[in-house]
Amino acid sequence: MADWPEEISLEAFRRAWVLEGEEFWNKVFEMHRDKIQIKNPRVAIGNLEKIFTATFKLANSKGFQAMSLRDLSSESGISMGGLYAYIGSKNELASVIEGVLRNYIDEVIGELVTKDLDPVDRLRAIIYGELFMMQLLNPWYYFCYMELKGLDREQQQQAMDLELRFDGLLVDAINAGVKNKQFVCANPELLASSITGQLQQWHLKHWKFKLREVNLEQYAAHIFDNLLLVLQYRGAEAGASGIAQSA
Amino acid sequence: MADWPEEISLEAFRRAWVLEGEEFWNKVFEMHRDKIQIKNPRVAIGNLEKIFTATFKLANSKGFQAMSLRDLSSESGISMGGLYAYIGSKNELASVIEGVLRNYIDEVIGELVTKDLDPVDRLRAIIYGELFMMQLLNPWYYFCYMELKGLDREQQQQAMDLELRFDGLLVDAINAGVKNKQFVCANPELLASSITGQLQQWHLKHWKFKLREVNLEQYAAHIFDNLLLVLQYRGAEAGASGIAQSA
DNA sequence: GTCTATACAACGATAGAC
DNA sequence: GTCTATCGTTGTATAGAC
C-alpha cells in the first residue's frame, strides 16, 4: 500500500504506486502464486511478464478469442507445454488478468477514500489518479474492457460493481460540493457516468489522441476544467485545474 | 434518402428514416444482393433477418470469435449448409454488418450537412440524431464497436474515418458558434471527441443506464445541456435543450 | 523447469441428396 | 432453396522425455 502523492503529476504517481518494473511483476506473481506450478520466483516472474506482455500484444490487436495458444507460444518464446506451467487454461489467463487489475484499482481507490479533501481537490485527485492508472496499465485496462464478456458471469458482475464504486466516488464528491453550494448539479449519478466514460476514452480511443497529438496532462485538464464548468463552479473559466489549458 | 424531421423526437426520427421492420431488411438485402446465392427476395429477407438477429444475440453476449457457426445455426434455425447460401464466410458476415451500418450512418450524416442550421440547433440535431440511430440500431453499433479489430485493416480504417467525420460535424458547429461569439471553446476537436465518447456510452454501457433508470430523452438532454454549459452559452443553465431536465 | 510429440474435440467449410 | 453427412484443419490440453 502506498500514499497518495501531494503533488499531482504522472511522475509523482509513478513513484507512489508500483505499477511497472520488476517490483510490479513480483506483486503479480505473489497474487496468484498458488495457481502456478513453478515455485522459483526468479524464473517465474520473468516468464509471467513474457506471457502477459505477449497476451496483450496479440489480444489487443486481434482479440483474445482469435489469439491461439500457438500464437501466444511463439510470441512469448515459451513452448505450448511450458505455458501450461503458468496458466491452467486459456480462459483462466483472461480471468487472472482481470483479477489483477481489479485488485490494483481497488487498492488505489481504497487509499483515496481515506483522504480528507475538499470537493474540488477530490474530483481532481480522482480524475488525475484514474488517468495515471490508465496510462501506466494501459494494455491491462484495454484488455479488460474489450474481453469482459468472455469471462464468467460472476467476474463480469465484479467488474461492473467496481465501475459503480468508482462512479460512487465521483458522486460523493459532487454531492459534497452541492451541499457546500460550490456546485450546481441536477443529476450527480449521470454526470459521474459521463466522467467515467470520458476517462475510459483514454485507453479506448488511443489512436485518436495520438492523431490529435493530445497528451495525458492536456486530456486530464480538459476533463477536469469542463467538469467544473458543468458544475457551474465559480472561477472555472480561468482554468481551475491549476495546469495550463491546452492551446 | 429521407428528410430530417422538424420535430426532434424518437418517433419523428423513426418515421423519417427506415431503420426497422420489413422495409429495413429489404434495404439490407439490396445492399449485398450480389454476395448472396438466394435470388428470391421474399425468402432471402426473412432468413437474413434471422441470421443477423441471431448473430447479434450470440456475438453481443459471448463475442463474435467465440460464437461458432454451429451456435449460429441452432440460434437462427438455419442449418450450417443453409447459412453458406447467405454469408460466404464467417468473417464476411462481420464485414457485411460493419458495411451496412457505416452505409446508414453516412446516409444520415450526409443529409444532415445539407441542412442550414444555427450552431445550437445543429449541435442538438447531431446529438439527438446520433442517439436515435444508436437506439434503433443498438445491436449493430455495439457489434461494430466490439468486433472492429477482427476486421481487416482497410475496414478498420474506414470505420475510424467515419468517426473522425462525425467528430468533424461537431467541430464545425462549435467553431461556427465560437465565430458568432455564442460559444467559448479553447479546443473544439477535443470537446467533439468527448461528446462522441459520451454518445457511444449509450450502447456501450446499456446496463448502467438500465440500472439507473435513465431513458434516451434524459440522456440526450443531459449531454446537450452540459455541452452548452461547457461552451458557456448564455441561457444554458435554464435547460436550453427545450426538453425537461431529468430529475 | 522446459521441451517435443501427440491426443482428440471442435471448428469452418463443402459436396451432394432432396 | 435447404438439408445431412463429411472433409481437412486448427484448436486446447496433456504425457512423457530431458
- For A167-218, how does the pLDDT look when each residue is reduced to its tens digit (9 = 90+)? 999 999 999 999 999 999 999 999 999 999 999 999 999 999 999 999 999 9
pLDDT per position as a tens digit, A58-99: 999 999 999 999 999 999 999 999 999 999 999 999 999 999
Contact A193 B205 (CB under 8 A): yes
Give DSSP secondary structure letters for chain B. --PPPSS-SHHHHHHHS--SHHHHHHHHHHHTGGG-S---HHHHHHHHHHHHHHHHHHHHHH-TTT--HHHHHHHHT--HHHHHHHHSSHHHHHHHHHHHHHHHHHHHHHHHHTS---HHHHHHHHHHHHHHHHHHTHHHHHHHHHHGGGS-HHHHHHHHHHHHHHHHHHHHHHHHHHHTTS---S-HHHHHHHHHHHHHHHHHTHHHHHHHT--HHHHHHHHHHHHHHHTT-TTGGGTTTSSPPP-
Q: How far apart are CA A167 and CA B224, in angstroms?
A: 21
DSSP class of residue A5 equals P
Q: Which of the nucleotides lies closest to A85 (Cα–C1')?
A: C1
Q: How far apart are CA B61 and CA B81, in angstroms?
A: 24
CA distances from A31 to A26, A96, A170 (A): 9, 9, 29
The predicted pLDDT at position B244 comes to: 43
Instruction: State mean pLDDT over A133-159.
Output: 98
B194, B222, B232 ranked by CB distance to A198: nearest: B194
Residue A111 is which amino acid? Answer: E
Among chain B residues, the shortest Cα distance to A149 is held by B62
B198, B212, B237 ranked by CB distance to A197: nearest: B198
Q: How far apart are CA A41 and CA B151, in angstroms?
A: 40
Cα three-residue angle B134-B162-A138, rounded to 5 degrees: 85
The predicted pLDDT at position A246 comes to: 40
pLDDT per position as a tens digit, A100-118: 999 999 999 999 999 999 9
Q: Are the C-beta atoms of residues B186 and A246 closer than 8 Å to each other?
A: yes
Contact A222 B62 (CB under 8 A): no
134-153 in chain B: CB under 8 A from chain A: 146-147, 149-150
**Residue B231 grid cell:** 461552451
Going B47 to B50 to B54 to B55, the CA torsion angle's sign is positive
Is the model's pLDDT at A245 over the cut of 80? no
Q: How far apart are CA B215 and CA B198, in angstroms?
A: 15
A150, A229, A245 ranked by CB distance to B230: nearest: A229
The predicted pLDDT at position A94 comes to: 98
List, in order of start, the domains of chain A with CATH numbers.
10-246 (1.10.357.10)
Q: Which of the nucleotides lies closest to B66 (Cα–C1')?
A: C11
Residue A133 is which amino acid? Answer: M
Q: How far apart are CA A68 and CA A55, in angstroms?
A: 10
Q: How far apart are CA B207 and CA B186, in angstroms?
A: 34
Using a CB-CB cut-off of 8 Å, the residues of chain B touching A148 are none
Q: How far apart are CA B189 and CA B105, in angstroms?
A: 20
Q: How far apart are CA B137 and CA B28, in angstroms?
A: 13
CB of A66 within 8 Å of a chain B CB? The answer is: yes
DSSP class of residue A187 equals -
Cα three-residue angle A146-B62-B36, rounded to 5 degrees: 105
Q: How far apart are CA A238 and CA B192, in angstroms?
A: 21
Q: How far apart are CA A245 and CA B108, in angstroms?
A: 35
**Sheet strands (E) in chain A:** none
Average pLDDT across chain A, whole number = 94
Q: Which among A52, A67, A54 is positioned nearest to A97, based on CA atoms?
A: A52
Using a CB-CB cut-off of 8 Å, the residues of chain B touching A223 are 194
Instruction: State mean pLDDT over B12-31.
Output: 96
Q: Which of the nucleotides lies closest to A65 (Cα–C1')?
A: D11
What does strand D contact on the protein, if contact means CB under 7 A? A 67-71, 80-81, 84, 89-91; B 37-40, 43-44, 47, 77-82, 85
Q: Are the C-beta atoms of residues B247 and A186 closer than 8 Å to each other?
A: yes
Q: Which of the nucleotides lies closest to A38 (Cα–C1')?
A: C1
Distance measured from the CA of protein residue B70 to the C1' of nucleotide C9, in angstroms: 14
Q: Are the C-beta atoms of residues B154 and B222 closer than 8 Å to each other?
A: no
Q: pLDDT class for A244, splitting at 50, 70, 90?
A: very low
Q: Are the C-beta atoms of residues B108 and B17 closer than 8 Å to each other?
A: yes
Burial A146-173 (b: 16+ CB within 10 A, else e): bbbebbeeebeeebeebbbebbebbbbb
Q: Which among B111, B95, B92, B98 is positioned nearest to B159, based on CA atoms?
A: B98
The predicted pLDDT at position B237 comes to: 64
CB of A190 within 8 Å of a chain B CB? The answer is: yes
B190, B205, B214 ranked by CB distance to A246: nearest: B190
Q: Which among B228, B246, B239 is positioned nearest to B120, based on CA atoms?
A: B228
Average pLDDT across chain B, whole number = 94
Residues in chain A: 247
Instruction: State mean pLDDT over B173-187.
Output: 98
A47 Cβ contact list (under 8 Å, min separation 6): A38, A76, A78, A82, A86
Q: Are the C-beta atoms of residues B58 and B71 closer than 8 Å to each other?
A: yes
pLDDT per position as a tens digit, B227-245: 999 999 997 765 555 554 4
Q: Strand C: which bases are under 7 Å from protein Cβ?
A: 1-6, 10-16
- Cβ of residue B245 lies below 7 Å from strand C: no
CB of B230 within 8 Å of a chain A CB? The answer is: yes
Share of chain B above pLDDT 70, in %: 95
Q: pLDDT class for A239, splitting at 50, 70, 90?
A: low
**Sheet strands (E) in chain B:** none
Q: Which of the nucleotides lies closest to B82 (Cα–C1')?
A: D2
Q: pLDDT class for A4, splitting at 50, 70, 90?
A: confident
Using a CB-CB cut-off of 8 Å, the residues of chain B touching A161 are none
A84 Cβ contact list (under 8 Å, min separation 6): none
pLDDT per position as a tens digit, B36-88: 999 999 999 999 999 999 999 999 999 999 999 999 999 999 999 999 999 99
Contact B150 A223 (CB under 8 A): no
Q: Which among A124, A135, A125 is positioned nearest to A215, based on CA atoms?
A: A135
Q: How far apart are CA A99 and CA A102, in angstroms?
A: 5
- In chain A, the N- to C-terminal Cα span, in Å, equals 37
Contact A65 B61 (CB under 8 A): no
Min Cα separation B168/chain A (Å): 13
Among chain B residues, the shortest Cα distance to A161 is held by B208
Min Cα separation B230/chain A (Å): 5
Q: Which among A105, A115, A119, A121 is positioned nearest to A196, based on CA atoms?
A: A105
CB of A65 within 8 Å of a chain B CB? The answer is: yes
Among chain A residues, the shortest Cα distance to B215 is held by A190
